[in-house]
Structure 1
Amino acid sequence: MNAVIEKLKQKSFLVIGRAGMDFYAEPPGTEMEQAESFSAHVGGSAANTAVALARLGCTTEVVTCVSDDAVGRFVSAKLASFGVGTKHFRSIGGEARNSLAVVETRLDNCQSVIYRNGAADFDMGIEDIEAPDYESAGGVILSGTALAAEPSRSAIFQAIELSRAAGTPVIIDMDYRPYSWPSQEEAAAVYTRAIERCDLVIGNDVEFNVAAGPGRDGFEHARSLIDGTPALVIYKMGERGSVTFAGSESFETGIFPVQAIKPTGAGDAFMGGFLSGLANGLSVRGAVEQGSASAAIVVTKVACSSAMPDRVELDSFIANHSLSSTDDTPALNTTAPGAPNAYRAV
């Protein structure tokens, strides 16, 4: 674990995965079919995470493919405006298109319509992955979405091998999107191959259930990973907080209660806040708390990338808000197959 954290302190990250466009129905609170207009933002898990890190003082480069059209150029320009590097973008012509998410800014029955047919980022290949300098990166962040199809699946596994050969920590956000996978069984097999080769594994209860496979418990699967390659595993439970496994130690973390206006963006914000915390010398517990604060901020604003906090906003938020108590978290029922929703007493 110490070697992983020391490398992260270089504050330089390669983020590999999806970069697309998000349309948010306006004004906030409006149902999509009643919207008067839509605001456009850069989106996608890799892009959002890169923005989160850049706004907190880290150097980030996104490795992906974008469509060779105005939307691809929009994505590239927007990321550059946030200080995110795009030199490892490859533009693809033909029928490939950037992913598009059309989303509402509301909590109850929030509609999110995702367009992913012929997604340009799924065309990312070995040649794209071999271009970056892995030795100079402090960490390589992988988005699990890219594992759902070829050739990006093979590209992600190549990135893992190149990172490990360079001695650079590999961090995976499981980012499971069921509409991208042929089946849960295939997702379980592929995720297992990937996360067992990564140093830091972050996912939510649903994602760990999928990775565990049918009839197996996601929480127990997350706990068991720490006996292998991963030095740190974070099991997120939404409003119930998270459980962190780090070597022989484990701990629970609550959330920062806020008046949220949407459910999207919290995971990417958590990743950015957490990794930047480790990069800046926070303890693992302190970094998890910073990730939780970043997530809390993002769900109070429209969009994802545009909502990521900078250092001043994040520090001010933490100084003026308190984490919820983990005493409110009910016990995990590990006797029921796949029971993922709560945890008490590791």
Structure 2
Amino acid sequence: MSKTSAGRFFEDYSVGQVIDHAVPRTVSGGERALHHALYPARHALHSSDVFAQACGLPASPIDDLMAFHLVFGKTVPDISLNAVANLGYVEGRWHRPVWPGDTLRARSTVIGLKQNSNGKTGVVWVRSEGVNQHGQIVLDYVRWVMVRKRDADAPAPDTVVPELRGALDALDLVLPEGLDFTRYDFTLAGEPHRLRDYTVGEVIDHVDGVTVEEAEHMLATRLWQNTAKVHFDLTVRPEGRLIYGGHVISMARALSFNGLANAQMIVGLNGGAHANPCLAGDTIRAWSEVLDVAECDAPGVGAIRLRLVATKGGEPSTLRGEDGRYLPHVLLDLDYWALMPL
């Protein structure tokens, strides 16, 4: 009897199935240091205990996307080890900050299945939760992924496509306990722009770019314990190792500091799509569009809804062609809520 596992294939999933993912992870300051080495991340709340304490928090939490990657990585061996591609995200919420010393684990529930017309792959929808050592949900989100079939002749399951929300309302957002921006230091944060300085429909070109290299993306993907074959094994994807989509998300978010330095904490993920593959040698650039603004029930705190687009060229605000499809230079289209001083 084999002691190794080839991972789950499309026919191994069933709607309602609950999967508890292996290998809990205790978070340390080492992850923060590596995150800042991998990305040009400079948001003050995630960099300085003193700044965070002035904002009402006990210390600087780890970056919200670090928490996402750690939870996402737990799910990969069970959900997307045999994936062709991760297709999108929706209904993501950060319920509480993650601090160094917290231990995260993950579980997923299968909420949808649909075999593709080629009979060789299918789409699996899951709702995944990250849970800390106290049993508290840290974050949850829905994602859907295209997974290979083990046996192309295996019967197709009944199609179940879940009904998903288009976007979170600002009232759905969970604010960290004690958060208070009334003593917010704009000088230390790096920019003077507060929520009232942004208008719906405004497009911000984040100016800078970063060329992705093989070594850094594989280091990042290993850091999150993401084992998906397409990120490492050229025999699985001879046209090139696919850059982990989360690497693109974190790079674009870090680039967005230039123009959105005060969008401090990500608290909601309305939707996201990896529009085209990213490969080593691509230079990632980013632009954002302001979709909405709202006041929050915390002193001096507001929420800004942003569309973050990562590209490998092209003009800011160009996204789709006349046929409605993403243009070839578009890598990521992410819709999220962040907290910002009023």
TM bucket, shorter chain: under 0.3
Counting helix residues as a fraction of each chain, which structure ranks higher? 1
Task: Name which structure has the greater RCO, CA cutoff 8 Å, separation 6+.
Answer: 2
TM-score with structure 2 setting the length: 0.27
Structure number with larger C-alpha Rg: 2
